[in-house]
Amino acid sequence: MTRELARPIREAVTALTGIPFDNVRLSYTHTHSGPSLGPTWLHEGDEMVPEYVNSLPHRLAGAAATGAASRTASSS
């Protein structure tokens, strides 16, 4: 994931959750059944990738907000 993609995701998470930007960390892995975010030998479906990438900040911020809303205080 590039910084150009990570920054808007982190900004969206901050805006939606109030978690400070510097505290937002992205963790990800790869899949052989999803779109590629970088150059690849396979070009089938390339036209759909920009729309998918543009949806990531909103979608991932929503997931972070769901997680933040379900937090509970530690009992330790």
Burial class (CB in 10 A: 0-12, 13-18, 19+), 57: buried
* The residue type at 2: T
**CB atoms inside a 10 Å sphere around CB 5:** 15
Angle between helices 3-17 and 49-69 (to 10 degrees): 40
DSSP state of 45: T
> How confident is the model over 37-73, as pLDDT tens digits?
777 787 888 888 889 899 999 999 999 999 999 886 6
How high is the pLDDT of residue 13?
97
